[in-house]
A and B are shown apart, each in its own frame.
Chain A
């Protein structure tokens, strides 16, 4: 059909369209130019070239397609790394953030990269920037709910950690196997909370980020990770601050190996994400499972050594509980913080197998979910 349209007509329409495009004020929104071109056609400007109005209109749509394809290629090739920042550009069609708060306006400057680096960065980096943008959006959305928003973002995880810490403070002696009780409970609490909140955030859907699925570069997985990253940052900073407060007050000597501690914390977070993705997929299949998952999370919480260590339990129970990889991670975290304690029960091979299996299962769930008719995006 495209061959049936005369080249004169195509040229004339393309020229007219480029005139309209040069006249538009907002460089991103081409719709005004397209509308004016369509009005020109209905006013009969191109009737001398072709008598069939459908063919003239179709020729106009082909010219519009050429412009749109050019724009998309420009975004996908030369601006692959810059593109995520168009989500933060208020004049962009892909503007992700509704708010004009200073913190968000400064983001492109904070993370600005030189042009040389832009050429090297991969689409993965581009996706990570997209997730970062979503995280900023979520952060801003939560913080702007009320006057104490930003303060509350910091205080809320501190309170949650302290509430969990109050239980071992009440039931345990001052030292548990030579570990001071406060840092002992803080480590347990942050590992459990990062697992639980990231699993719940991933499981319960996008929330305020859900409308961003309409954005051409955003996928369900990005939103899940952005929501989980939110809990990672919250509990990481809250935990580190509380632990270093205990160091400041000489309750403990400080980390034996901070890097491995952070690695264990990150693994807990990733396991939480995987658990959330699998649970989300199961809930979509059988909604009633939601109740079971809520209870399973409580059971995992109780079995994760928040308030105790396996050495304090009868051997049969501790052997059973050590099948829980989160308990092993908490134990590893404590072992690499305290000089005084080293757990004999931690098995990194076992944790590794759990880690790989959960990632594998979560990826399968994501792939199956994306193939569902309701999730397919044209």
Chain B
């Protein structure tokens, strides 16, 4: 056993002990770090995959028990983990629909899908929320981005028109007041 192997086995044991103490997210962060640092170590890969599956199971369980915020927290850990990412995205969408208000839901979904035009489900959900967002330039820009991904989406255009109308009116009132 060479020195590198000794070091990573020690770190792996620490991560495993953290996982056994029910600190799943912390253990997963360590497992990801170790996996990046030692990509060829099979023990680490097995541990990393096992923790990822456990995180997915926890997220599902939390979703069923209607603890939406924690479900989103756990599911977000899975983003970028290849075979489980899709399930993580599904859990986030379902939890966001059920547990978050329109603004937080939009910001969360946009944060996740902004560089991914193929994630149509998320963009559709955002399109339905635009109308109910508080008027701001940031939200209007989100609306235009939605239309770039789903051109001609009627709800998105109507929502965007409402936002622009609200912001234009508030600007006019400000000008009149000054």
Asked if chains A and B come from one complex, the reply is: yes
Chain A hits for B164, CB < 8 A: 1, 54-55, 58
Chain B hits for A351, CB < 8 A: none
Chain B hits for A64, CB < 8 A: 147, 151-152
Q: Give the number of residues in B that approach A within 8 Å (Cβ atoms).
A: 28
**Contact (Cβ within 8 A) B151 A1:** no
| Residue B94 CB within 8 A of the other chain | yes
**Contact (Cβ within 8 A) B144 A1:** no
**Contact (Cβ within 8 A) A373 B144:** no
| Residue A317 CB within 8 A of the other chain | no
**Contact (Cβ within 8 A) A62 B97:** no
Chain A hits for B124, CB < 8 A: 377-378
| Residue A69 CB within 8 A of the other chain | yes
Chain B hits for A61, CB < 8 A: 144, 147, 151-152, 157, 160
Chain B hits for A4, CB < 8 A: 165
**Contact (Cβ within 8 A) A374 B94:** yes
| Residue B116 CB within 8 A of the other chain | no
The contact of A57 among B93, B94, B144, B151, by CB within 8 Å, is B144
Known A1-B161, A2-B161, A34-B151; contact A52-B127, beta-carbon cutoff 8 A: no
**Contact (Cβ within 8 A) B162 A1:** yes
Interface string of A202-241 (1 = CB under 8 A from B): 0000000000001000000000000000000000000000
**Contact (Cβ within 8 A) B152 A69:** yes
20 contacting pairs across A/B (C-beta < 8 A): A1-B161, A1-B162, A1-B164, A30-B151, A31-B151, A38-B148, A54-B164, A54-B167, A54-B168, A55-B164, A58-B157, A62-B157, A65-B152, A65-B157, A67-B152, A68-B151, A214-B120, A374-B90, A374-B94, A378-B128
Please give the residue numbers on chain B whose beta carbons come within 8 Å of chain A beta carbons, in ascending order. Answer: 90, 93-94, 97-98, 120-121, 124-125, 127-128, 140, 144, 147-148, 151-155, 157, 160-162, 164-165, 167-168
Given contacts A1-B164, A2-B161, A377-B124, 4 further A-B contacts (CB under 8 A): A1-B165, A30-B151, A61-B157, A378-B121
